[in-house]
A and B are shown apart, each in its own frame.
Chain A
Amino acid sequence: MIRLTFDPFDPGALLTEFSHGRSEVGAVATFTGIARAEAGATVALELEAYPGFTEAEIGKIADAAKVRFGLDDFAILHRVGRIGPGEPVVFVATAARHRRAAFEACDFLMDYLKSKAPFWKKEHGSDGARWVEPRDQDHADLKRWDKETST
């Protein structure tokens, strides 16, 4: 499942739904990204996507992750629009036969979402708004997976 939503979501409810009936899977890992308040400096995040293209591009990577880590299933839900501090921005769940695959696939998908998925993020602060671009650390995080492929 890959979905974009303008509405706030409940990560607990998503996990319950995702885990339901998986008696043979063995492992479910999840990640929830939450909008940081930065001690009041960030008033809101604004996330923009390119509807259709964004889902399709995430789908390509998620399908690759499914093969690479031997996933049974995945779920990716990403907020778009205006997001307040403390609200979940992104939810990733992975299901696999064993925990390592579930953890690693979840980690991999988040690294991809941070710096390569078609989203544009604006931080509205008390002193104005600015567009956020991936940090060096985000690029380095994604590169880890290249190394692991080539060795």
Chain B
Amino acid sequence: MARVLLFGRLSDVAGWRERQVESPFLSALRARLADEDAGLGEALSGPGVQVALDQVIVRGDAPLNAGTEVAFLPPMSGG
């Protein structure tokens, strides 16, 4: 089970902030989340949304292990 975290406006779109999801690959996880919630699927593939696996930014697909932390990060703004 991967631990999925949503930040910023993504958690508002989904209505949740953290969930356990069973999925062997990041691509499959994305497809599954989009299948369950089309609005979230669209938001996750929106401009500027990055993904971190165990707190490291990744591009493209990647395998997920049990307990991998998958964080979806929309455009950032501090200060």
Please list the residues of chain B having a beta carbon within 8 angstroms of any beta carbon in chain A: 5, 7-9, 12, 48, 52, 55, 71, 73-79
Residues of chain B within 8 A of A113, CB atoms compared: 78-79
Complex: chain A residue closest to B12, CB-CB: A131
Q: Given A120-B8, A120-B9, decide whether A134 and B75 contact each other with a Cβ distance below 8 A.
A: yes
Greatest chain A CB density within 10 A among B7, B8, B76, B78 is at: B78
Contact A131 B8 (CB under 8 A): yes
**Pairs A–B under 8 Å by Cβ, sample size 11:** A52-B55, A78-B78, A110-B79, A114-B79, A119-B76, A120-B7, A120-B76, A121-B77, A121-B78, A131-B74, A133-B77
Chain B residues within 8 Å of A48, by CB: 7-8
Docked CA distance A78–B71 (Å): 21
Q: Within residues 82 to 128 of chain A, which ones have a CB less than 8 A from any CB in chain B?
A: 89-90, 110, 113-122
Total A-B contacts with CB atoms under 8 angstroms apart: 60
Chain B: minimal CB distance from A88 (Å): 11
Contact between A116 and B76 (Cβ–Cβ < 8 Å)? yes
For the complex, would chain B's binding face be called helix, strand, loop or mixed by DSSP majority? Answer: loop
The answer on a CB contact under 8 Å between A90 and B78 is yes
A115 touches B71 (CB 8 A): no
A56 beta carbon closer than 8 Å to chain B: yes
Size of A's binding interface in residues, CB under 8 A: 26
B78 and A117: CB pair below 8 A?
yes
Which residues does chain B contribute within 8 Å of A90, judged by CB atoms? 78-79
Q: Name the residue on A nearest B71 (C-beta).
A: A50
Chain B residues contacting A56 (CB-CB under 8 Å) are 55
Is there an interface contact between B9 and A131, defined as CB atoms closer than 8 Å? yes
Query: Cβ of B5: which chain A residues have Cβ within 8 Å of it?
Result: 50
Q: Does A72 contact B (CB under 8 A)?
A: no
Interface: A47 (CB within 8 A): yes
